[in-house]
Amino acid sequence: MNINTTGNIMDGILNRIINLSKNTVEHDAFDRMTFDRVAKKCGKLNDIRDTALGKSPASEGEKTCHYPFITELQQDVFYSFFKYNPKFINDDKIQQEFRVHKEMIKKAQKNENWRKMRNMTKLDEVNSTIATAYFSEELMREISKRDKKLQKQIQELQKQRQQIIDLMKDFANAKKEADKKQLAEQIEKVTQEIQQKSEQAMKNISQISVSQAIKNATKKMAEYHETTNTLMWGTETSQMRKVNPEERIALANYLLTNEKLFKLVKELGKLKNIFAETKRREIKHGTSEIYSIGTGRDLGRILPCEVLKMRHPVLKKDFYKRFLDGSLLEYSLRSKEKMGKGNIIVCLDCSGSMSLKLYDEISRELYAKALALAILELAVRDNRNYHLIMFEATIKQEYKFGKDKKPDVNDIISIANTTYTGGTNFDAPLEKALSSINEEGDIVFITDGECKVGDDFLKKFNEVKEKLNFQVVSLQVGNSSTKYLEDFSNDVINFTKFIETSKSVFSALVKGGDKI
């Protein structure tokens, strides 16, 4: 070792070991601040880190690996997803044991799914955080499956890194020059061992592990993206507003750590598609009228006299010219469809039996809530008041939305998390619904139970229903009789299959007096 002074020894150690970067992707203070801010609020990302560091146990039956450099890996992955044009730091500026992360990301970039992921994450701090969580989780799982040697080498590198730190403390406290030289030689030896082991670790990163990890992460990210889009109902005044980054990361936390909410929103997305299809099929388009003549280039609305010109060799050229200019004569339509003006009221049974399985891995409760939320979107879009009455033996919770109170993500989370364990009584929710309904309104009654309604109240209810001309659509999601539902309902639907039942409910609403 060609070092003659204590100062030179320390400078050499610092320059070759300590002062180098632990990250492999170029970033600035803003990038680091962004990661620290969103990562702090993402419970999923922190859970993955704590498990990899051995601070918390893995889930039962879950395979994961102990990875002491997980924090630096997650930072590099985040920068790679978030930055517009990410670039790697030169090897000579990276601490040797962390260069393995550069190799991991390079291998991931060879997979076509990396590009798909980047399309969702570039310059989006929230999506980048979620993608980092998914990829780091899948990578730990894949390493645990097939890269045992790599896992062992990373753990050994961590021990050697700690060994250097301890030697440096001894070096700083040493009084004699001979002791300092001896310690410096030990540090040099361990440094060379770290270099050799790091190079071996980089060779042991299997392409299949990284490719499988990015493939699985991209699939989960696409599903997550689709799920969150289900809750983004636009920014118009009659629609649910888009959420800001702070609310988005809060929502992400709920979706990533709350399986029940994630399932509910997935079902909501399916129901929204079914409703759109049902509405297109049911609503008649013959109720529009011509109310003005103007100019344009809509070939579907040009006047017959313009079409006749196509048969004349000279006028045909004039037709083409005026088509390009947008000056063809065409008519405009004005819709005569009735739009629903009445309240939409959903009475939702939240009794204990609603937790029972309905189909696949979905409970009666989850489907019923997803349906209630799909109807909420209908009300929001048509600017109708919406009243959700959640009941068991008594009314437990109410939510009201209208022009002055639009739903937001927190409302959806609150509805999803509301659960009770009592029995079932129909009188209370029907009485509450009756006090809230108005002319042309709709009541949707969802339950898995049966309960006879009091004769006096039933008579009053049906009299008001006939007078105001509102309709009641009831859905039985259990195995109970529909006898008592028929006493106050216009339509009673038994749950059979997801698509068929959902279409039946939406069709009943759409056909209800052309109100929707």
Q: What are the pLDDT digits (tens) for 65-75?
A: 788 999 999 99
Q: 25 vs 179, which has greater pLDDT?
A: 25
Band of residue 20 on the pLDDT scale cut at 50, 70, 90: confident
Reference 174, options 192, 156, 186, 157; nearest CA is: 186
pLDDT at 217 over 80: yes
Sorted by sequence, the CB contacts under 8 Å of residue 115 that are 6+ apart come out as none
The topology under which CATH files domain 344-510 is Rossmann fold (3.40.50)
Write down the pLDDT at residue 412.
83
Q: 235 vs 132, which has greater pLDDT?
A: 132
User: Which DSSP helix (H) or strand (E) runs through 71?
Assistant: helix 70-82
pLDDT at 447 over 60: yes
Band of residue 5 on the pLDDT scale cut at 50, 70, 90: low
pLDDT at 285 over 70: no
Q: 135 vs 436, which has greater pLDDT?
A: 135
Q: What is the pTM of this model?
A: 0.68
From 63-77, 284-298, 371-385, 452-466, the region with the lowest mean pLDDT: 284-298
β-pairing verdict for 288-296 and 344-349: unpaired
SS3 category, 296? strand
pLDDT at 473 over 90: yes
Write down the pLDDT at residue 339.
44
Rounded to an integer, the average pLDDT of 186-210 is: 86
Q: Letter for the amino acid at 78?
A: F
Return the residue matching tokens 């409302």.
Answer: 411
The pair of structure tokens assigned to 363 is 């409970």
From 12-16, 132-136, 138-142, 430-434, the region with the lowest mean pLDDT: 12-16
pLDDT at 282 over 70: no
CA distance 421 to 398: 17
CB 252 within 8 A of CB 155: no
CB 451 within 8 A of CB 424: yes
pLDDT at 513 over 80: no
Band of residue 511 on the pLDDT scale cut at 50, 70, 90: low
From 56-70, 74-88, 442-456, the region with the lowest mean pLDDT: 56-70
Taking every pair of Cα atoms in the chain, the longest distance, rounded to a whole number of angstroms, is 108
Q: Letter for the amino acid at 346?
A: V
pLDDT at 433 over 90: yes
Residue pLDDT, tens place only, 92-149: 899 888 999 999 999 999 999 999 999 999 998 989 999 999 999 999 999 988 888 8
pLDDT at 234 over 50: no
CA distance 487 to 112: 59
From 39-48, 180-189, 298-307, 418-427, the region with the lowest mean pLDDT: 298-307
pLDDT at 194 over 90: no
Write down the pLDDT at residue 3.
46
Sorted by sequence, the CB contacts under 8 Å of residue 509 that are 6+ apart come out as 375, 378, 442, 444, 473, 516
Reference 249, options 418, 424, 130; nearest CA is: 130
Quick one: DSSP state of residue 92?
A: G
Calculate the average pLDDT of the chain. Answer: 83
Write down the pLDDT at residue 239.
43
pLDDT at 313 over 60: yes
Rounded to an integer, the average pLDDT of 76-98 is: 93
Write down the pLDDT at residue 233.
53
From 230-234, 247-251, 298-302, 377-381, the region with the lowest mean pLDDT: 230-234
Q: Within 10 A of 397 (CB to CB), how many other CB atoms are there?
A: 14
Residue pLDDT, tens place only, 23-52: 999 999 999 999 998 888 888 898 899 988
Q: What angle do CA 69, 75, 76 make, to 5 degrees?
A: 90
Write down the pLDDT at residue 380.
81
Q: 325 vs 207, which has greater pLDDT?
A: 207
Band of residue 336 on the pLDDT scale cut at 50, 70, 90: very low
CB 17 within 8 A of CB 191: yes
The pair of structure tokens assigned to 19 is 């002062």
pLDDT at 496 over 70: yes
Segment of 155-159, 163-167, 319-323, 385-389 carrying the highest mean pLDDT: 385-389
CA distance 516 to 509: 7
Segment of 114-128, 281-295, 333-347 carrying the highest mean pLDDT: 114-128
Q: 492 vs 328, which has greater pLDDT?
A: 492
Residue percentage of the chain with pLDDT more than 90 = 39
Q: 335 vs 12, which has greater pLDDT?
A: 12
Rounded to an integer, the average pLDDT of 153-174 is: 84
Band of residue 484 on the pLDDT scale cut at 50, 70, 90: very high
pLDDT at 396 over 60: yes
Residues of the chain with CATH 3.40.50.410: 344-510
